Amino acid sequence: MEKRSSKRWRSRLRSAKLFDASQRFLVECRIMDLSPSGARLKPESDRPLPLELRYHDEDKIFAPAALIWIRKREIGIRFLDEAAAEGEATDPKPLDAELRNASPSAESRTMSDATRT
User: Burial level of 60, CB count in 10 A (0-12/13-18/19+)?
Assistant: middle
Higher-pLDDT residue of 72, 109: 72
pLDDT of residue 48: 93
How much is the pLDDT for 59? 81
Question: pTM of the predicted model, to two decimals?
Answer: 0.60
* pLDDT over 70 at 40, yes or no: yes
Tens-place pLDDT, residues 44-94? 999 999 999 999 998 878 899 999 999 999 999 999 986 544 444 444 444
Higher pLDDT, 8 or 101: 8
